[in-house]
Amino acid sequence: DVVMTQTPVSLPVSLGGQASISCRSSQSLVHSNGNTYLHWYLQKPGQSPQLLIYRVSNRFSGVPDRFSGSGSGTDFTLKISRVEPEDLGDYYCLQSTHFPWTFGGGTKLELK
Q: Which spans of this chain sit near other proteins (rule: CB under 8 A)?
A: 37, 39, 41, 43, 47-51, 54, 60, 92, 94, 96, 99-106
| Residue 96 CB, nearest approach to other proteins (Å) | 5
Q: Closest Cα to residue 39, out of 91, 1, 2?
A: 91
Q: What is the CA radius of gyration of the chain?
A: 13
Nearest residue (CB) to other proteins, 46 versus 85: 46
Helix (H, G, I), strand (E, B) or coil at 18: coil
Nearest residue (CB) to other proteins, 52 versus 83: 52
CA 85 to mean position of chain CA atoms: 18
| Residue 68 CB, nearest approach to other proteins (Å) | 18
